[in-house]
Structure 1
Amino acid sequence: MDTRSSSMRAHARGAVRPTLLAVVAIIVLLAVASWFLIIQPHQELMMQDAGGHPSTPVSTDKISVPPPANVEAMDVNQLLAEARKAMNDHRVLAPAGNNAFEFYLKALEKQPGNPVATDALRETFPFAASGAEQAINGRDVNEAQRQIDLLAKADPANYTVTILRSKLDAQRKLLDKEQQQALDQQRQQQLAAEKAAADKAAAEKLASEQKVAQQAEPQKPTAQAPAAQQQVAAAEAKPASEAAAATEPVLIRTVQPRYPTQARRANLEGWVVVSYNIDTDGNVNGVKVLDAQPRHLFDREAVDAVERWKFKPATRNGVPVEANRQQRIVFKLNQ
């Protein structure tokens, strides 16, 4: 009886061992098939959406690529395709309106929770943040602000956004300080030039008065000065009368500058200092930007407005003459 039982148990163990090996082999085959059929294609798709390997350098250059037409009408698949194309071109955050982050965010607006867009934004966030920091270091504060706003939309709770905003605020304060120092220096130079001109005019007037007095001194003993001496005195007094006849240009028509749409959407204010010439017809030409805050944001609108101003020209002895002036154009919201 014992011999028969032992034989049956040994036979059972011999039957279980091949079955266990078969089960293990099936599990291994399923794991390999899952890798090649599911996991690897998904990773390749994610790498394509992210523009390649995550270590690929992110370029912050504003690549000049025309944006696709009618982005609002695109479906989710089209937006993901445009985002993938932008990532391959390293257009992660720039240019505005034609970058991967904006396309992914548009896709999430149309399909909240889309896994491809969500994963792509999460994986590329650190490298996009590095690009925004480069814009800050390059002192392109408006572009940096736009990129930080995109990062905040992608991941509002990410502490990196707070750090970038602090760096941008510090850069703005530094730029404001430098620009104020430049304006103060320019103002001091202008005041010094005006004072020098006033001192020169006063000295010339005093010299002219002394010369006239010296010429009139010999005429005291006689009741009537010779006609030749009277003509000399009149000639010496002529420059003073000519100076009195000079007039400055008078603004008779002004045109308010257009407020840039980008600045209005971003709630940005600023100013532009321009110089310009006024010809003998009272028209403005030769408008140049001397300084601006922020740089390059309001320049074009300020120049376009000043070029359409109209003046009553300056005159000398009743004759129109050209003049040069400077003007500070202020851009302020809700004015």
Structure 2
Amino acid sequence: MDTRSSSMRAHARGAIRPTLLAVIAIFVLLAAASWFLILQPHQELVMQDAGGHPSTPVSTSKIAVAPPANVEAMDLTQLLAEARKAMNDHRVLAPAGNNAFEFYLKALEKQPGNTVATDALRETFPFAASGAEQAINARDFSEAQREIDLLAKADPANYTLTILRSKLDAQRKLLDKEQQLALEQQRQQQLAAEKAAADKAAAEKLAAAQKTQQANQEPPAQVAATDTPASTEPAKPVVRQVVSTDPVMTKYVQPRFPTKARRTRTQGWVVVGYTVDVEGNVTGAQVVDAQPRHVFDREAIDAVERWKYKPATRNGRAVEANLQKKIEFRL
């Protein structure tokens, strides 16, 4: 009895499997038939009314087509016809006043909720958005802003608008930064050119001054007489006269009398040796001799280092001069 029941159950399971496969096959065939017979024709009909197909590339080029006259006076049928014509010409968002989006929006003003216009705007929105993005990438910012505003009228809540606006803002900031960088580079180049011109002028001026100074220092040329017979005596060397002047003090600073020496009523003197340079400044001051030692040295050096001179000259040129000065410290 048990053997027969088990055999019947196994037979029933074997019969169910082909039936299940047949049902699944029927559903697949029905789905395919629905696509080819219902959904696809409906989509093609909508896109035919819209004047294109989603796979049709969108061009943002401003085709030179004259806009129809008196668009405001057109009825719904005329607006939809103009919209289909614009879609066929790939005038989705541009040019302004003569594009499919504007005609469809006008149609919705005439008849809010019009299915053809609504479906066409929804179907073509992603491809129109790519056209606005092309305008952004081309840095045609005014045109890109117009197209984004037009897209916002069709679908103000679409998140794509947020992305487009962010890209437009980023490109504007990038362009501003590039322009500022270019202006800064231009300014730096101008400053460098001005500096180079100033350096060149200074170098030319210095060269001219040195040339003039050398010319003033050269002795006059000696012209030998040719009318007299040559002398058998050896020529005497020409002796150039050297004109020199000593340094002349222009500023004298009185040495300070040390407080300790004043209290002890100590007196003395210091001999200071120093150099007067070509600018008339005192350099290298040092004590040569002193009496008493190390009592008045510091005050003497401090005073001498602040003295000023008109520098010594030799043949009209300033030269250094070494001097010694005995400074008395008396009460």
* TM-score between both structures, scaled by the size of structure 1: 0.48
In our comparison, the structure showing a higher alpha carbon Rg is 2
- Calculate the TM-score normalised by the size of structure 2: 0.48
Question: Higher helix share goes to which structure?
Answer: 1
